[in-house]
């Protein structure tokens, strides 16, 4: 890492701010500006000096899209960060996990006990913020008060930890347990300054073998910035369900009543007034949706006419495979199929690429993905716009100019 850490910041809209003008979605791609005040923490966390920092406190940042290209496993310094509170710094030796609720045998684990007692299982899984690609939705209507993510609030790692299914089996789940809830530690800052983060998943998912209590990320101890010493990893679900700095696992009859499940991370109808929406209104988000995005070239890039390499990622939720990715340069009238990279893990993205012959002049490159159930991404952002800007799965588009 260079010593002169200069990360980039995208101004975050606030409630009541004058809305942006209507226009092409590409007009609202993040246009970062240099930031130096936050550089010390970026270096401490081992992040790239060109991360796009949408918010300083809490820390919310994504890499430039091209930084994800050619990396089936995202380097730790490139992995996006999504937080609703301050980064927790917990001594691994002092960390404890409580497993309780509708179980026969509640108990508390230290990290050493968890690692000694249970299988060390590895899972390659993609985590994606439910707000990934939100910025594109602002071309339809403004979405004030939300982080305007580009297409890189998504990353992939190999996680190692104890299968949650084994931990719950040892605890003795009672028949009435239908949901497993997670709560983060909340040691800092002062109580009440930030809401405690939590959420839950159905017991059927929690007892599947792929859900981990993870302590390792890409071969290294799980860093604090990504939830260490232990976080839950829920492959195939939105990133919000993979709760960081895990402190408690509770078996219960109902879904979590934590704010970030009962009131946030919900899909409201497009005509809903978010300010007046009652808790529980809309659809609670869980399983991740089919999504694909172009990583290179980037929107607005100037290129040389001739062969151009186009690359990106595609990911399908809940273990469904990505069947193919189509790419078009004539707004979807004709399509060509991209080639996938060699890796094909059931819970991870598939990186893809294609070479296109582009003539001189402006061009729009469009990509869409299909999964193994023959589901395809919707064409337009208007089809998926919602007041909180979640789950933008519309066709990915970038505009370039060739000379």
Please, where in the chain does CATH 2.60.40.650 lie?
A: 291-402
**Count of alpha carbons within 13 Å of 207, Cβ hemisphere only?**
14
For residue 13, give the 3-state DSSP assignment.
Answer: coil
Burial 275-307 (b: 16+ CB within 10 A, else e): eebeeeebebbbbbbbbbbbbbbbbeeeeeeee
Instruction: Examine the pLDDT at 57 and tell me if it is beyond 60.
Output: yes
Q: Thinking of the domain 291-402, which architecture would CATH place it in?
A: Sandwich (2.60)
Residue 22, number of CB atoms within 10 A of its CB = 11
* CA dihedral sign of residues 153, 157, 161, 164: positive
- Tell me the CATH number for domain 96-284: 3.90.420.10
Percent of the chain with pLDDT over 70: 87
Question: Which range in 19-28, 40-49, 94-103 is most confidently predicted, on average pLDDT?
Answer: 94-103
Q: What is the pLDDT of residue 319?
A: 78
- What is the pLDDT, as a whole number, of residue 277? 73
Check the CA dihedral 134-135-137-141 and report its sign. positive
pLDDT value of residue 13: 34
**d(Cα 79, Cα 101) in Å, to the nearest integer?**
34
Q: Which residue has the tokens 């300083």?
A: 56
SS3 of the chain: helix, strand, coil, percent, to 5: 10, 35, 55
pLDDT in tens, 101-120: 999 999 999 999 999 999 99
Whole-number average pLDDT of the chain? 89
β-bridge mates for residue 35, sequence order: 7
For residues 364 and 330, is the Cβ–Cβ distance under 8 A? Answer: no
pLDDT of 29 above 90: no
The predicted pLDDT at position 202 comes to 99
Distance of alpha carbon 312 from alpha carbon 133, whole angstroms: 13
8 CB-side CA count, 13 A = 12
- Residue ranges matching CATH 3.90.420.10 in the chain: 96-284
């Amino acid at each position: 890492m260079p010593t002169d850490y200069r990360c980039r910041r995208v101004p975050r809209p606030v409630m009541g701010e004058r809305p942006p003008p209507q226009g092409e979605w590409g007009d609202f791609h993040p246009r970062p500006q240099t930031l130096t005040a936050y550089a010390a923490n970026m270096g401490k966390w081992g992040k790239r000096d060109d991360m796009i920092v949408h918010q300083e406190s809490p820390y919310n940042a994504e890499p430039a899209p091209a930084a994800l290209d050619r990396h089936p496993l995202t380097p730790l310094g490139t992995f996006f960060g999504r937080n609703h509170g301050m980064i927790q710094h917990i001594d691994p030796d002092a960390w404890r996990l409580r497993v309780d609720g509708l179980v026969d045998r509640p108990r508390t684990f230290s990290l050493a006990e968890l690692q000694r007692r249970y299988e060390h299982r590895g899972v390659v899984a993609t985590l994606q913020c439910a707000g990934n690609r939100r910025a594109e939705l602002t071309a339809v209507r403004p979405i004030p008060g939300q982080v305007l993510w580009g297409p890189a609030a998504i990353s992939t790692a190999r996680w190692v930890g104890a299968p949650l299914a084994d931990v719950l089996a040892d605890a003795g789940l009672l028949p009435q347990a239908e949901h497993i809830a997670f709560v983060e530690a909340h040691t800092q800052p002062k109580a009440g300054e930030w809401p405690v983060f939590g959420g839950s998943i159905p017991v059927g998912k929690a007892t599947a073998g792929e859900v981990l209590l993870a302590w390792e990320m890409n071969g290294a101890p799980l860093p604090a910035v990504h939830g260490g010493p232990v976080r839950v990893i829920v492959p195939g679900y939105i990133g919000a369900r993979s709760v960081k700095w895990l402190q408690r696992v509770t078996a219960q009859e109902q879904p979590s009543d934590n704010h970030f499940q009962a009131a946030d991370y919900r899909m409201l109808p497009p005509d809903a007034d978010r300010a007046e929406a009652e808790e529980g209104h809309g659809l609670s988000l869980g399983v991740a949706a089919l999504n694909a995005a172009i990583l290179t070239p980037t929107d607005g890039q100037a290129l040389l006419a001739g062969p151009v390499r186009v690359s990106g990622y595609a990911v399908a939720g809940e273990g469904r495979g990505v069947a193919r990715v189509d790419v078009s340069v004539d707004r979807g009238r004709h399509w060509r199929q991209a080639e996938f990279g060699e890796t094909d893990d059931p819970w991870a993205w598939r990186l893809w690429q294609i070479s296109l012959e582009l003539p001189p002049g402006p061009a729009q490159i469009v990509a869409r993905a299909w999964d193994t159930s023959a589901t395809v991404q919707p064409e337009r952002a208007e089809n998926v716009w919602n007041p909180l800007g979640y789950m933008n799965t519309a066709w990915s588009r970038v505009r370039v100019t060739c000379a």
